[in-house]
Amino acid sequence: MDTQVEIRLCGTKPLVFKKEDVERLRCQHRIVGALIGALPRLPLQNAYPGLPLLLSAEEATLLISKDFAVMNASGNWTFLKTDLDRLRYRVFEYLWSKQLYITRGLKFGGDFMAYPGDPMRFHSHYIVLATERDSPLALLDIISKGRLAINVKKTFVIAGPAEESSDDDIETFSIQWAGF
């Protein structure tokens, strides 16, 4: 078994500082995160960030729950505080289990972006919104998100808990705009 990746908690931000760990996360576990540091030899440029790697709360929780990583912090990792946190994590874990790479999706009006391979080499296919099954969605929001997704060559996906009678934990619905 590989050694566990060390995650350090700085305030509430889970960070990875070792380049070997960052490589392992990306290549073996499909965890992308976001580089947020300055490069040692070019500290004033901001086009190419360096270490540390900032993990999303969902990424850190998945790594810890799968025993791929250990949190090096004085306190305990307590991300799953609200129902929305738990739902987003369940959707993240579901997408990850489907062999997808996942990044944040706020830029496109969703919770996540899902890629068929490493985001450095692949275009994302899906904008994913995590929502409760009985949560109302305005028709105008569905239309606008579907149209936005098609304009950026993606499919908009609504993901949430499956019906109790279903064998699946998460149910997904895709929205595509036919256009004229």
In the annotation, is 154 catalytic? yes
Last residue of a domain, one of 72, 92, 107: 72
> Could you tell me if residue 101 is inside a domain?
yes
Please report the pLDDT score of residue 164 as a whole number. Answer: 80
Shared-domain flag, residues 108 and 144 = yes
Catalytic residue (choose from 94, 115, 126, 145): 115
d(CA 4, CA 70): 6
Please report the pLDDT score of residue 167 as a whole number. Answer: 65
Ranges of residues in the chain whose predicted pLDDT is under 50:
none
Shared-domain flag, residues 92 and 150 = yes
Total domain count for the chain?
Answer: 2
Please report the pLDDT score of residue 104 as a whole number. Answer: 96
Please report the pLDDT score of residue 168 as a whole number. Answer: 75
> Which domain covers residue 137, as residue numbers?
83-175
Please report the pLDDT score of residue 177 as a whole number. Answer: 73
Q: Is the pTM of this model over 0.85?
A: yes
Last residue of a domain, one of 72, 94, 115: 72
Please report the pLDDT score of residue 180 as a whole number. Answer: 52
Please report the pLDDT score of residue 166 as a whole number. Answer: 66
Please report the pLDDT score of residue 68 as a whole number. Answer: 96
Shared-domain flag, residues 67 and 94 = no
In the annotation, is 115 catalytic? yes
Please report the pLDDT score of residue 43 as a whole number. Answer: 77
Please report the pLDDT score of residue 101 as a whole number. Answer: 98
In the annotation, is 66 catalytic? no
Catalytic residue (choose from 13, 18, 98, 123): 123
pLDDT in tens, 52-83: 999 999 999 999 999 999 998 656 777 888 99
Catalytic residue (choose from 89, 94, 145, 154): 154
For residue 169, the domain's CATH number is 3.40.1350.10
Please report the pLDDT score of residue 47 as a whole number. Answer: 86
Burial of 62-79, coded b for 16+ CB within 10 Å and e otherwise, reads: bbbeeebbebeeeeebeb
d(CA 153, CA 170): 24
